[in-house]
Amino acid sequence: MLVQLQIHNLAVVSGMALELLGGLTALTGETGAGKSILIDALGLALGEKADNSLIRSGADRAEVTAQFDINTTPEAGHWLRQNDLDEGDECILRRSLNREGRSRCYINGRSVPMQQLQELGDLLVEIHGQHAHQSLLKANHQRRLLDAYAGHTELSHQLALQYKSYQKDLKRLQLLTAETEERASRLDLLRYQAEELAALDVSADELATIEKEHTRLSHLEQIRTSCNEILTGLDGEQHSLRSQLSRSLELVREMEQLDGSLKDPREMIDSALIQVDEALAFLRNYLNDIALDPSGLQQLEERLGLLHDASRKYRVKPLQLPEKLQQIQSEISTLEGADETLSELTNQVEAGHAAYLKLGEQLSKKRRTSAKRLSRVISEAMQTLGMPGGKFNVLLTPLEALEAGANGLEQVDFQVSANPGLPLDLLSKVASGGELSRISLAIQVATIECGTTPTLIFDEVDVGIGGGVAEIVGQMLRKLSSNRQILCVTHLPQVAAQAMHHFQVQKTTQQKSTSTDIARLDEDQRIQEIARMLGGITITEQTLAHAQEMVTLAADA
């Protein structure tokens, strides 16, 4: 639900902040006062196209901010979470225009592309008006409305999933069939590669072992030299480390006899001498065991060469050669079993298509029944909305086998004949702006329980009507607002009287500046405004009494 709309330097509005409530809200004012500014501003916040000509004269930038409570709009909440824009139960859309022609869009304070603003806007607000983008004219929206009205949205969802599964299997089948001719040559190549890699007999840890041994063998002379140098330093000269430790141990033992507190350093030197002796023993044994092995080094180098050549040939790292062999063997198994797989997949595709057709026929039957019912209900509503003799029809056109898809076996189109004697034609072709708004109203009332958009806006839905028809339009809007937020721009008192909340648009001119303001009316102000709408310039006591009576009757209905 829209809870606040802030407008800054847009057209004739210098600045305003509107607090909005649920139920039905009427927006009225003199002709030319700018009653549609609210809809225009909200359209900007929802991602409609705009240019810098909308920026108020003398200003460099215009901005519109719309705040929504999405607590009862799970679809919007889900969209926000999917796009990492979630901020709890609150959602703020902001749009700014500047003189340089750039437009910036924000959702919950984060900059977003225009497309995202439009996607979210479609979930929050639906605008019905003569010059607004209207989802009712879209074939997909018409189909969803019919399915929602009949209560088989879940069946249509199952059909879409089944079609997707069937198409996936069909593509696999087509690919496998197309590869049949290439399979033999591909198998020959794969078998050769598998034999070559198998003969190489590479293990996962072999390369690390070979490289370690190669490093050792190629540096044996360096190791031998270093080992001899260490042995000489430890125990090869008169002043070697071992001889110095031995002398130090003798001295500290003598000192310990004189002072028992020297026990710890004596033990430390003793331990150091023991470790030196152990190191000497290990190094002497190691030096005796190592021997230069040119042939072994050459074998390792040849083996490393083979592994690196194979890795370059198969475009993988040497460590990945065993994995490459497994991939080749797996593909061989797949291709060798292709005939069996092809047969199984053919049966699977046929079964999937049959399941799709079964669901499609079930949905088609339900659609035919619900289409007749919805056509009758909306046609009856048209008679009371200033279109006597008008007809509405939901046309179901069977699709060719190749055209049928995830949406079913038929095309869904809304047809209308707004005047008696005229043939039915597509809604988008024959309905005028005012007629389309009233037909939209009839559809919304008929499908009130299945709609999900929380805020509906009707811009001049009462064009071309008056009297009793106008009162019926108002009653329909009030009924529709029982579980939606409805904003209605109107010039008819019969419609305004049905509203729970009332805003008045006023245009003021001061010197060379013109501005539009929108103010919420209290009860007395509201009676005055409806009386103005009834009586024009001169407002009599009788007109005021009539206005009061209309408001009272609407509230008591």
Both structure tokens of 344: 């199984």
Pick from 132, 154, 153, 131: which is nearest to 144 by CA? Answer: 153
Confidence grade of residue 99 (pLDDT, cut at 50, 70, 90): confident
- Residue 364 phi/psi, 5-degree rounding, is -60, -40
392 lies in some domain: no
Radius of gyration of the chain (CA): 43
pLDDT of residue 357: 94
Q: One-letter amino acid identity for 508?
A: T
Confidence grade of residue 336 (pLDDT, cut at 50, 70, 90): confident
200 lies in some domain: yes
Residue 450's alpha-carbon distances to 149, 150, 416, 484, in angstroms, are 6, 9, 22, 12
Neighbours of 518 (CB within 10 A): 22
Could you tell me if 208 and 78 lie in one domain? no
Own/partner pairs, 185-194, CB within 8 angstroms, 24+ separation: 186/335, 187/332, 187/335, 187/336, 190/328, 190/331, 190/332, 190/335, 191/332, 193/314, 193/328, 194/325, 194/328, 194/329, 194/332
Q: Euclidean distance between the first and final Cα of the chain, in Å? A: 25
Residues 455 and 147: their CA atoms lie apart, in Å, by 21
Beta bridge partners of 105: 95
**553 Cβ contact partners less than 8 Å away, ≥ 6 residues apart:** 497
- What is the sign of the dihedral through the CA atoms of 354, 355, 360 and 362? positive
Q: One-letter amino acid identity for 342?
A: L
DSSP symbol at 54: G
**339 Cβ contact partners less than 8 Å away, ≥ 6 residues apart:** none
Of 315, 336, 357, at which residue does a domain stop?
Answer: 336
321 lies in some domain: yes
Domain count, the chain: 3
- Residue 127 phi/psi, 5-degree rounding, is -105, 130
Residues 88 and 85: their CA atoms lie apart, in Å, by 10
Q: Which residue has the higher pLDDT, 385 or 314?
A: 314
439 lies in some domain: no
* Reduced 3-state DSSP string for 359-401: HHHHHHHHHHHHHHHHHHHHHHHHHCCCCCCCEEEEEEEECCC
Of 311, 336, 361, at which residue does a domain stop?
Answer: 336
Could you tell me if 490 and 529 lie in one domain? no
User: Which of 43-57, 67-81, 101-115, 342-356 shows the lowest mean pLDDT across its residues?
Assistant: 43-57
Could you tell me if 96 and 188 lie in one domain? no
Residues 390 and 498: their CA atoms lie apart, in Å, by 25
pLDDT in tens, 186-213: 888 888 988 988 888 777 677 667 767 6
Beta strand pairing status for 391-398 and 125-129? Answer: unpaired
Could you tell me if 329 and 233 lie in one domain? yes
Instruction: Quote the crossing angle between the two packed helices 74-82 and 114-124, to the nearest 10°.
Output: 160
For residue 308, the Cα-to-chain-centroid distance in whole angstroms is 46
Could you tell me if 298 and 199 lie in one domain? yes
Q: Does the pLDDT value for residue 327 go beyond 80?
A: yes
Task: Count CA within 13 A, CB hemisphere, residue 65.
Answer: 13
36 lies in some domain: yes
Residues 471 and 460: their CA atoms lie apart, in Å, by 14
Could you tell me if 5 and 114 lie in one domain? yes
Confidence grade of residue 451 (pLDDT, cut at 50, 70, 90): low
Q: One-letter amino acid identity for 556?
A: D
Q: Does the pLDDT value for residue 27 go beyond 50?
A: yes
Could you tell me if 34 and 91 lie in one domain? yes
Both structure tokens of 67: 């705040």
What is the per-residue DSSP string for 442-480? HHHHHTTTT---SEEEEESTTTT--HHHHHHHHHHHHHH
Q: Which residue has the tokens 């044996």?
A: 220
40 lies in some domain: yes
Pick from 139, 150, 151, 149: which is nearest to 405 by CA? Answer: 139
Could you tell me if 549 and 492 lie in one domain? no
CATH number at residue 458: 3.40.50.300
Confidence grade of residue 463 (pLDDT, cut at 50, 70, 90): low
Which H or E element spans position 23? Answer: strand 23-29
Enclosing domain of residue 534: 521-557
Residues 356 and 163: their CA atoms lie apart, in Å, by 6
Of 266, 301, 336, at which residue does a domain stop?
Answer: 336
pLDDT in tens, 28-52: 888 766 777 788 889 899 988 887 8
Q: One-letter amino acid identity for 10?
A: L
User: Which of 287-301, 364-378, 486-500 shows the lowest mean pLDDT across its residues?
Assistant: 287-301
Both structure tokens of 16: 């305003």
**507 Cβ contact partners less than 8 Å away, ≥ 6 residues apart:** 12, 29, 30, 32, 33, 34, 514, 515, 516
Q: Which residue has the tokens 């080749």?
A: 328
Mean pLDDT of 494-500: 92
Could you tell me if 111 and 66 lie in one domain? yes
pLDDT of residue 131: 45
pLDDT of residue 66: 95
Confidence grade of residue 293 (pLDDT, cut at 50, 70, 90): low
Instruction: Work out the burial of residue 200: count CB atoms within 10 Å of its CB; fewer than 13 is exposed, 13-18 middle, 19 or more buried.
Output: middle
Could you tell me if 284 and 329 lie in one domain? yes
Could you tell me if 502 and 557 lie in one domain? no
Residue count (the chain): 557
pLDDT of residue 133: 38
Q: Does the pLDDT value for residue 132 go beyond 60?
A: no
Q: Which residue spans within 181-251 are E strands per DSSP? A: none
User: Which of 78-82, 193-197, 235-239, 368-372 shows the lowest mean pLDDT across its residues?
Assistant: 235-239
Please answer whether residues 498 and 474 qualify as being in contact, where contact means their C-beta atoms are separated by less than 8 angstroms.
yes
Could you tell me if 120 and 203 lie in one domain? no
Residues 502 and 489: their CA atoms lie apart, in Å, by 10
394 lies in some domain: no
Mean pLDDT of 110-120: 93
417 lies in some domain: no
